[in-house]
């Protein structure tokens, strides 16, 4: 009897791996029936990760989106699954236990069947609550192995990790090859070991196409015993996304597996609707390079899901760096120059900070640390001179136990700055907060929502939810989209358009007529001149007070030797405080040498800015959330 392989569609992750935004709830409801009609999916990924933050940035209610999006699949008997980040829930930073528990209850009520839980460090302590809370809520607990390639992350390492998670109560295992760098043979061995030791545990394989291994990995996973394979579909497959459904089905069918047939009329409808959403506005947030496979990703091992924000970070920081180079009579760098330097630096930095698996948020942390090192080295400064607080928390053990040993120079730097390492359970650092958020909702006369889902949303994404409620989020999104559209129109001069079309490199729509089952379909393939997305703001949270150390500092005395200026060390958004446990500096305050005067939020991390001299604050030149450039004066002192 042929072994059966079932497919799961990553319709949400297809978008997130390509760019910044995902379809609106109206668009999701339009495409859902056609996905059901395709008849080939046993599972669909419907929420989790950054999905709900993006709804809030649109000005949409994420709870309404999840309920409406899961309903068609619930009705059709197709299982739905979400992605959650263990200690970090569905955001970038740690979440109190009571908020995590509420999340699973809410998501189950909203129609989500399976909780795929991963920890960015593969620390089982961070997944124990996820497994327990998911099962308490009546969900299937699917624990994920965050796959990466290093001297530490061996077949035996992942086999033992799976044993531990299953012993904790996980119902299923996901082999999560988030960067697509897992070697096919090793993936096969890991899955084979799991199936031999735990024959009744279902295994689902998830991978990304970017570096080029994925089709071979899928075949090995199927031979080794995996029951479910995650797939994408055109026009958002391949590149930093996932292997295409049609190719995977054909490959597995030829290999002798029993695979579902595909209703191609419905397939073409989903494909054309997806393209329509790209043409509507989502394409403005997809970098064209994210549509390409790139074997350069093998060495740094950076995941496909973060490549959208990575390209935006490169563009923003390249502009800032080249301004500095122009001022200092140095030749400018190209984006490719900076990209290669970044990849090289990731491979240098990664082992020195203990080989954290390159998955959210730690992939961003490693990338950010490497990029800051590159920028500092380009300016003739030293490595490690800019390490954000979030990254220090990872290094110190406040996010979980690092798989490898820290380099002596990193340990020495921590001790020199008076930082203490933490070996306890990370969850204990983040006390319960639901009562605080409930009080906030009562004070504002906000409805707690069906099944406390609005309370959950505020607690999980405080800053984004408040911006959503005030209407600021929607206004900001609409203004940004209008700017991108205007820039595209301004650059689309007839002469340049003709030149681009002649060269074959222009982003001009092309039309194909495809005949399927004696019915013709017009397929518009367009390559819009796409803008770069910006990083999601990191939500603020009240946590146990932690002694902050300055990550960066800069003071430029004026010519009279008395007035002092604290300047921004990099481009980003300025904040006076990082969370509610801190008190903002104000005019008239006396600042001592080493005191933190604010933060620059850049690339999803907060970089502390400290004064190098003492003084009295006479002027604060930017408000919370204002964009600043490198060397902008943040505050003045005397």
Strand intervals (E) in 452-611: 510-516, 519-525, 552-553, 555-557, 564-567, 572-575, 590-591, 596-602, 605-610
d(CA 63, CA 456): 10
142 phi/psi in degrees, rounded to 5 = -110, 105
> What's the predicted TM-score (pTM) here?
0.79
pLDDT of residue 307: 55
d(CA 496, CA 487): 14
d(CA 399, CA 386): 20
What is the dihedral sign for C-alpha 167, 173, 175, 178?
negative
CA-based nearest residue to 179, from 364, 331, 44: 364
Domain 552-637 has CATH 2.40.50.100: yes
Letter string b/e over residues 318-330, b meaning 16 or more CB atoms within 10 A of that residue's CB = bebbbeeeeeeee
550 phi/psi in degrees, rounded to 5 = -65, 130
d(CA 58, CA 469): 12
Instruction: Give the sheet arrangement for strand 555-557, strand by strand.
Output: 555-557, 564-567, 633-637, 615-620, 590-591
Question: Which 3 state secondary structure label does DSSP give 60?
Answer: coil
> Cα dist. 156→117, 192, 194 in Å?
21, 12, 11
d(CA 19, CA 309): 7
Chain-centre distance for alpha carbon 174: 18
> Cα dist. 268→273, 281, 517, 529 in Å?
8, 20, 12, 24
d(CA 1, CA 418): 64
Flag residues of the chain having pLDDT under 50: 497-513, 525-561
Write the Ramachandran bin of 246: left for phi over 0, alpha for psi from -120 to 50, otherwise beta.
Answer: alpha
H or E stretch at 340: helix 335-352
Pairing of strands 605-610, 140-146: unpaired
Count of CA atoms in the C-beta half-sphere (13 A) of 104: 27
What residues does each domain of the chain span? Answer: 552-637
CA-based nearest residue to 115, from 167, 171, 40: 171
Question: Which 3 state secondary structure label does DSSP give 126?
Answer: helix
> Cα dist. 630→317, 322, 416, 538, 627 in Å?
10, 11, 27, 20, 10
pLDDT of residue 217: 97
Planar angle of CA 548, 551, 555, nearest 5 degrees: 110
Residues pairing with 207 in the sheet: 177
């Amino acid at each position: 009897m042929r072994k059966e392989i079932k497919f799961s569609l990553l319709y949400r992750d297809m978008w997130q791996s390509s760019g910044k935004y995902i379809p609106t709830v109206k668009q999701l409801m339009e495409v859902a029936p056609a996905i059901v009609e395709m008849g080939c999916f046993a599972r669909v990924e419907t929420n989790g990760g950054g999905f709900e933050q993006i709804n809030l940035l649109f000005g949409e209610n994420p709870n309404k989106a999840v309920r409406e999006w899961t309903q068609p699949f619930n009705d059709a008997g197709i299982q739905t699954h979400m992605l959650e980040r263990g200690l970090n829930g569905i955001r970038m930073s740690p979440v109190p236990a009571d908020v995590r528990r509420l999340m699973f209850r809410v998501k189950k009520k909203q129609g989500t069947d399976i909780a795929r839980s991963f920890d960015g460090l593969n620390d089982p302590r961070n997944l124990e609550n996820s497994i327990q809370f998911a099962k308490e809520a009546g969900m299937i607990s699917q624990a994920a192995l965050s796959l990466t390639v290093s001297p530490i992350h061996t077949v035996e390492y992942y086999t033992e990790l799976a044993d531990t998670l299953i012993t904790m109560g996980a119902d299923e295992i996901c082999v999560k090859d988030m960067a697509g760098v897992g070697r096919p043979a090793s993936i096969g061995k890991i899955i084979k070991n799991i199936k031999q030791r735990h024959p009744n545990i279902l295994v689902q394989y998830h991978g990304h196409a970017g570096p080029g291994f994925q089709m071979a990995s899928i075949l090995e996973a199927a031979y080794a015993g995996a029951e479910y394979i995650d797939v994408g579909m055109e026009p958002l497959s391949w590149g930093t996304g996932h292997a295409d459904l049609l190719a995977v089905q054909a490959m597995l069918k030829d290999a002798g597996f029993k695979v579902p047939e595909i209703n191609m009329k419905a397939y073409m409808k989903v494909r054309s609707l997806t393209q329509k959403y790209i043409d509507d506005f989502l394409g403005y947030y997809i970098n064209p390079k994210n549509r390409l496979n790139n074997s350069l990703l093998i060495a740094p091992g950076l995941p496909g899901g973060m490549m959208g924000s990575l390209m935006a970070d490169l563009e923003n920081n390249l502009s800032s760096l080249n301004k500095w180079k122009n001022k200092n009579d140095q030749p400018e760098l190209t984006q490719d120059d900076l990209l290669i330097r970044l990849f090289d630096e990731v491979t240098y930095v990664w082992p020195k900070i203990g080989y954290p698996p390159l998955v959210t948020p730690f992939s961003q942390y490693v990338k950010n640390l490497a990029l800051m090192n590159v920028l500092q080295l380009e300016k003739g400064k030293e490595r490690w001179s800019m390490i954000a607080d979030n990254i220090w928390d990872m290094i110190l053990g406040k996010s979980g136990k690092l798989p490898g040993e820290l380099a002596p120079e990193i340990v020495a730097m921590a001790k020199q700055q008076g930082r203490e390492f933490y070996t306890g359970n990370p969850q204990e650092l983040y006390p319960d907060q639901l009562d605080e958020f409930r009080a906030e909702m009562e004070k504002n006369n906000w409805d707690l929502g069906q099944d406390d889902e609005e309370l959950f949303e505020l607690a999980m994404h405080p800053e984004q939810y408040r911006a959503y409620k005030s209407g600021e989020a929607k206004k900001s999104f609409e203004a940004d989209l209008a700017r991108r559209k205007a820039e595209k129109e301004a650059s689309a001069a007839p002469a340049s358009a003709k030149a681009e079309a002649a060269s074959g490199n222009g982003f001009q729509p092309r039309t194909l007529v495809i005949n399927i089952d004696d019915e013709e379909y017009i397929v518009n393939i367009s390559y819009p001149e796409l803008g770069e997305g910006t990083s999601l703001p990191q939500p603020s949270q009240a946590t146990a007070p932690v002694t902050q150390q300055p990550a960066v500092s800069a003071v430029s005395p004026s010519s009279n030797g008395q007035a002092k200026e604290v300047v921004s060390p990099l481009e980003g958004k300025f904040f006076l405080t990082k969370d509610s446990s801190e008190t903002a500096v104000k005019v008239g305050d006396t600042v001592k040498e080493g005191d933190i005067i604010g933060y620059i939020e850049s690339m999803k991390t907060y970089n502390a800015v400290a004064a190098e001299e003492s003084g009295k604050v006479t002027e604060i030149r930017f408000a919370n959330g204002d964009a600043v450039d490198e060397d902008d004066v943040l505050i003045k002192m005397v």
